[in-house]
Amino acid sequence: MNSASPADPVAERPPRYAVVGEEDDEVWFTCSGLSGFFSPAPSQGSREITLLSCMRVPDEVLRRERPDGGAIELGNAGLRVLDGAGRTLGAYFLGGVTVLGCVPAASESGARDVTVAAFVIESPPPEAGEIWERWRREFPSRRGLWAEYSPEGRRAWLHVVRYHDRHRAGRDRTAERGATFELDGRHVTDPASFYCALGEAINGPGGYFGAGLDALDDCLQGGDFGARIPFTLIWRHSEIARERLRDPVGGSGPPYFDVILQIFDEAGASVELH
């Protein structure tokens, strides 16, 4: 693929997102916003995404710049969410990226709006875009920020936590055996809020330690997610979760709260309910 060029070499601005080729790790696009990505959509499938105010665009796209310039197939890529210093906070897979159009950006002189079609494995919740933006301004520095959100917003917070953790995969997070962690259960009213609170208890603000029952078991068994068996989890205000996490697992199984405790017990982790 040909190299990418700044859309405006005189005034290139810090981007919020980058689209990076999967094979060669080459940056194809950098842009300041997205349309059609953080929006209600099927869980997976092809969708149109507009990269707003692109400052970096492949030369072959610029040469064919017009709304009906013809599709340009680029291949698989990663859509990276960047912080204010240009470091990657998280990334999404984009399959078969195809440029559908490239036009001058209406909101920013010298930049381009580029529309692409791509296959998305998991559509992010609409609220995730705002949460990524919050993390871009300042990474979580204290626990419980997710508790400010609605149930939908808490699920989106957990989504962001999970994708941030995927980006950190491979880093050494091996913990010593026998550690003690404390979970603040004051706001644990649904599964998403439990995993938000648990991730922070184990790995600090913005931390991850599972986003579902299977993932929780994987974290307990893996040993490289910030806690290593055996360890002790002190669960403060556990009566709130016991009351709220009563839905039967699978529709007819034990209450969700009981299954959580069972998974910890079978893995060899001690949970003290307070």
242-270: pLDDT as tens digits: 999 999 999 999 999 999 999 999 999 99
**Residue 121 binned pLDDT confidence (cut-offs 50, 70, 90):** very high
Q: What is the pLDDT of residue 224?
A: 82
- pTM confidence score: 0.91
Among residues 31, 30, 26, 103, the alpha carbon closest in space to that of 64 is found at 103
Tell me the per-residue pLDDT of 148-190, one tens digit each, with 9 for 90 and over.
Answer: 999 999 999 999 999 999 877 555 566 778 999 999 999 999 9
Handedness of CA 89, 135, 37, 86 (dihedral sign): negative
Q: What is the pLDDT of residue 10?
A: 39
Res. 9: pLDDT tops 50? no
Among residues 53, 24, 41, the alpha carbon closest in space to that of 118 is found at 41
